[in-house]
């Protein structure tokens, strides 16, 4: 912890209120610091193509073939040659042309040879290699066929309905860049280029613990003042994916030594350790001192966001550490903003959605907002121009806010598809005022499938 960080952190018994927001990290700076704690993991594994979805390409991969590999028909019809259409024996200069059909070219089959001695056509089916000597295809809908002959009235131009070898990519083209999160589109590309296996980065080792005496696993009876632990299942669900190996470190009681020991036992065994709860300033909030007692170095504490202010970033024994608040909606948001960015960095990716959200959306709901912390509100965009209120007069998508901001409420979150982001400096929001938009699809689901 640097002197600047210490001055930003609250004193042990102080209350970090909105009036203290100037001492909290700005969210963009906090994401940058979270990323800076993470070093891309090294190493390469080779996995079968069928197991590559969701993994990160460890090297660039090229196609050994031109794609497609040969000229072929794009339509069911007839292959023709210039020679046939210019021959005086079957046609006038402007048609109609009547040509005998002398063979069939089907996908996967041998191509019939052109008969250079007389004008003719060849029956050709979509995907079939264009027989040598033919240079255009007429779709069967554009000609008539009777008694082994076709009649066509218009000359299909040279190259009509032919897909040329290499028009998608010449041989040697890189079809998968190193660092790409592989999804179904890349799998298709790799498959068509003949790659049966892919070099990928090793999976990230991620561990989750929750802190709190009140926590009881779902399925077990609750005592007085107890609650079911929702954060651990939530985080484990958010983190489940092909590129992670997850470890559930359980719920740790609110005792300084227990928290210290749990953190010390995890240190260095994982690329990223997440905790929730105990991150604030109460008597039973042991995270910060326990983390230091376990040998951790706190990078920063406290982010100017609502919900989710008590966020601790640090490193311990080679592991990056993210301490999130206990309130479930705050923990969810903290995961989406910070854990997602850290995992991207650990897997060698860059970019990602800016934490302030996409511009161009407006609120459909009036909100009271005290200038101070940036506020993240569960919201739903409306893209229904046929209905009143879907798009504002300026054509901007309207976000319907699902409920009042709360660090503890899960119901608004469950009905949302992203966060509307009210800028820290904004006062009350009226319908039509601009707000940022952070769709869930750009956050942790970006880790499940999207390209960096
Ligand atoms: N005097 C002050 N009190 C609080 C401050 C403050 O600045 N001064 N900050 C508040 C803010 S903001 C937040 S957020 C919370 C977060 O504090 P903690 O990270 O220490 O979280 P806990 O106190 O352990 O729990 C908060 C809340 O969430 C429930 N919880 C905790 N873990 C789970 C879980 N795994 N599953 C479901 N629910 C959980 C817990 O029972 C509490 O209700 O502190 C404020 N206080
Ligand atoms: O910052 Mo906290 O608002 O309750 O998550």
- The CATH number of whichever domain residue 259 belongs to comes to 3.40.980.10
424 is written with which tokens?
């820290």
Please determine, for residue 380, whether its predicted confidence score (pLDDT) is greater than 60: no
Mark whether 23 and 54 lie in a shared domain. Answer: no
**CB of 433 within 8 A of CB of 363?**
yes
214 and 277 assigned to the same domain? yes
Rounded Cα distance, 274 and 295, in Å: 16
Position 99 scores a pLDDT of 93
Instruction: Kindly give the residue spans of alpha helices, DSSP state H, lying in 267-347.
Output: 287-293, 328-334, 340-346
- Ligand 1: residue of 10, 216, 223, 327 to mutate (most ligand atoms within 8 A of CB) is 327
* pLDDT at residue 82, rounded to an integer: 82
Range of the domain at 380: 358-439
Ligand 2 pocket test target in 17, 20, 310 with most atoms within 8 Å of CB: 310
Q: Nearest to residue 443, comparing CAs of 302, 347, 335, 345?
A: 335
**Claim to verify: residue 251 and residue 309 sit in the same structural domain:** yes
pLDDT category, 5, cuts 50, 70, 90?
Answer: very low
- Same structural domain for residues 120 and 134? yes
Atom of ligand 1 nearest to the CA of 16: 7
pLDDT of 308-331, one tens digit each? 999 999 999 999 999 999 999 999
- Give the integer Cα–Cα distance in Å for 370 and 348: 38
How remote is the CA of residue 267 from the centroid of ligand 2, in Å?
27
Hey, which bits of 1-96 come out as E strands? 45-48, 61-62, 72-73, 77-80
Same domain assignment for residues 306 and 206: yes
Could you tell me if 112 and 144 lie in one domain?
yes
Q: What's the whole-number mean pLDDT along residues 263-286?
A: 94
Residues 348, 221, single domain; the answer is yes
From the centroid of its chain, how far is CA 398? 23
Give the ranges where 80-221 is alpha helix by DSSP (H).
82-86, 184-192
Spatial distance between the Cα atoms of 104 and 414, rounded to a whole number of angstroms: 58
Ligand 2 neighbourhood includes 309 CB (under 6 angstroms): yes
Which CATH number characterizes residue 153's domain?
A: 2.170.190.11
> What is the distance in A from the centroid of ligand 1 to the CA of 343?
24
Does the model's pTM come out above 0.90? no
Closest residue by Cα to atom 28, ligand 1, is 327
Cα dihedral 414→419→423→426 (10° resolution): -50
Q: What is the pLDDT of residue 378?
A: 61
User: Of the residues 325, 373, 375, 377, which should be mutated to test ligand 2's pocket, given the most ligand atoms within 8 Å of the CB?
Assistant: 325
Measured distance CA(302)–CA(16) in Å, rounded: 9
Q: How many domains does the chain have?
A: 4
High-pLDDT (> 90) share of the chain, %: 62
* Two tokens, residue 311: 């966020």
How high is the mean pLDDT of the chain?
86
Same domain, yes or no: 388 and 398: yes
Q: Report pLDDT digits (tens) over 188-244.
A: 999 999 999 999 999 999 999 999 999 999 999 999 999 999 999 999 999 999 999
Instruction: Give CA–CA dist 243/258, Å, rounded.
Output: 30
Same domain, 135 and 83: yes
Query: Residues 58-63: what's their mean pLDDT?
Result: 96
Tell me if residue 345 falls in helix, strand or coil: helix
């Amino acid at each position: 912890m640097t002197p600047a960080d210490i001055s930003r952190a609250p004193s042990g018994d102080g209350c970090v209120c909105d009036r203290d927001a100037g001492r909290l990290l700005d969210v963009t700076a906090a994401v940058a610091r979270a990323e800076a704690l993470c070093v891309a993991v090294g190493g390469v594994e080779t996995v079968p193509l069928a197991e590559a979805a969701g993994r990160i390409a460890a090297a660039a991969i090229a196609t050994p073939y031109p794609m497609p590999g040969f000229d072929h028909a794009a339509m069911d019809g007839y292959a023709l040659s210039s020679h046939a259409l210019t021959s005086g024996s079957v046609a006038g200069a402007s048609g109609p042309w009547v040509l005998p059909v002398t063979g069939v070219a089907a996908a996967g089959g041998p191509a019939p040879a052109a008969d250079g001695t007389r004008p003719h056509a060849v029956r050709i089916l979509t995907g079939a290699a264009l027989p040598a000597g033919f240079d255009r295809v007429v779709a069967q809908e554009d000609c008539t066929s009777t008694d082994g002959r076709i009649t066509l009235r218009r000359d299909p131009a040279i190259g009509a309905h032919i897909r040329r070898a290499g028009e998608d990519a010449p041989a040697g083209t890189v079809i998968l860049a190193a660092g790409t999160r592989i999804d179904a589109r890349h799998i298709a590309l790799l498959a068509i280029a003949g790659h049966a296996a892919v070099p990928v980065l090793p999976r990230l080792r991620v561990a989750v613990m929750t802190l709190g005496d009140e926590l009881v696993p779902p399925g077990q009876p609750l005592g007085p003042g107890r609650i079911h632990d929702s954060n651990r299942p939530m985080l484990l669900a958010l983190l489940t994916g092909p590129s992670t190996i997850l470890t559930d470190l359980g719920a740790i009681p609110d005792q300084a030594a227990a928290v210290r020991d749990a953190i010390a036992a995890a240190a260095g065994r994982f690329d990223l350790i997440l905790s929730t709860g105990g991150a604030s300033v109460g008597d039973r909030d042991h995270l910060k001192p326990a983390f230091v007692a376990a040998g951790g170095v706190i990078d920063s504490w406290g982010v100017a966001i609502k919900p989710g202010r008590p966020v601790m970033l640090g490193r311990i024994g080679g592991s990056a550490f993210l301490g999130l608040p206990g309130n479930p909606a705050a923990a969810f948001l903290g995961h989406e903003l910070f854990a997602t960015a850290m995992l991207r960095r650990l897997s060698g990716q860059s970019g990602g959605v800016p934490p302030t959200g996409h511009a161009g959306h407006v609120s459909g709901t009036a909100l009271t907002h005290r200038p101070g912390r940036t506020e993240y509100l569960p919201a739903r965009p409306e893209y229904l121009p046929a209905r009143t209120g879907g798009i504002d007069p300026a054509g901007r998508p309207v976000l319907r806010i699902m409920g009042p901001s709360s660090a503890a409420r899960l119901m608004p979150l469950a009905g949302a598809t992203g966060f509307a982001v009210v800028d820290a400096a904004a006062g009350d929001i009226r319908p039509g005022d601009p707000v940022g938009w952070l769709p869930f699809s750009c956050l942790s689901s970006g880790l499940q499938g999207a390209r960096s």
